[in-house]
Structure 1
Amino acid sequence: MASDGMSNVGNEEEPNDNDKYNPKLDFFSEEFDPLLALKTPNLVVPVSNATTHDNLQKFKSVVEGKRQENTSKVAEISTEVSIERRWLPHQLPIQVKRKTISKNVLSKMETVVGPLQLLKTCKDNQHRIKVWTRHSHGIRGFCIGYIAAFDKHWNLALEDVEEVWTRPKRRKVPALNSAKADLKIQPKVLPPPVTIVKSTKKTETCSRHVSQLLLRGEHIAYIVVIPDETKS
């Protein structure tokens, strides 16, 4: 019995392999091995609610007392610094109030100066003008009417216009509204009727009345103001 008791006591004093102290599994030891601690099952963590960090670098910075700032704030600061370095104070854009004055043909006609001032006078006082027009190789004819509008390029909008021009007598295509014209498809809007005033061997002088006419400045040769007493 004594021997059995001595044997039992000896078995109780034998240390278990799991109860052996391992400095690599001691969290407060300098020889602590985190990889071995992760692989060891049923290892009790001394502080269960400890903060988890993404990497060792962040853990070291926390231990050393160097808190990293928020990445968003760092990004904002970096962008602001880059803008300040890229642009100097005198190079930044300046806000200027835009002019609200609307410039069009009607407003420019009121402030025109120089030779165009005569056209404005004729428009305001309803004076008739005589405009000689040209083509590629000479004078084509003339137009008599009232000025409705004009611009700096001498483009004229005329009203109540009497147009007279000269054209070749022999043409391959007959003019519209003439006795020789034979059109299979009649247009919906016909041009004003043309009257032959004078006819020679090679040319004929035509005349027509147009309610509204637009003359381009490049087709105008010269302009004459008709006195008031010659109004018909």
Structure 2
Amino acid sequence: MLRPPMADKYDLQSVEAALAKAELMAALSDATRARLAKQGQPCTVETGKLLFAKGDKGDALYVLLEGEVEVRSSTEGGKDVRMASLKPPAVIGEMAVLDGGVRSADIAAIRKSRFLRIHRDQAISALESEPKALLKLIAEMSKRLRHADAALEDAHTLDLGGRLAQRLLEEAGDSPSVTLTQTEIARRIGASREKVNRKLHEWVDEGWIAMGRAGIKLIARDKLKALIQEARAN
């Protein structure tokens, strides 16, 4: 049985500001967001611990205030598949708002993370009073499902190089570099650190990336993107 996330204290004003930035919560009125901020329960999850596990009762949603979490599931062979990473101000567990069913995936803290827990009944009340926010919730769920489908497909179709290239590009975003350690990158793509290290050094020799104390600098993004497309085509 999982231990519940640790209760925490929080500044009400900062929580209201975070809710205003969250995609689902931004559709609510200021008054409704203020009410949810007061009703919600703050909690903290330490690095590597689960916020909740697949199969747990879905009786609440969470707003990520600080930190980072990953959404993961398992294949039939028991292999963990990292489906997505979420950063503030993400809304997590929104499916529970609609059906109150069990969780469909594990949510693990990549680093120490703080949340606002909003009980399903409180969220339902807010959505019933403001239907536009309900439409936002449905749109967000659809987007998450598309991302999950893509992640599962890539886990089955992309080789090591394709998965590594995709992870580097996604982690970098608009930044020129990725600051994750090779161990963490390996874990996120389901490979050994040794294999990741060999592939990275191959790309250094090719001039696609550079490695140093500041992390992994992406020099030839077009080459990495082409490699992903080639892997998918095969």
Give TM-score, length-normalised by structure 1.
Answer: 0.19
Q: Which has the larger radius of gyration?
A: 1
- Give the alignment's TM-score, normalised by structure 2: 0.19
Flag the structure with higher helix content.
2
Q: Which has the higher contact order (CA 8 A, sep 6+)?
A: 2
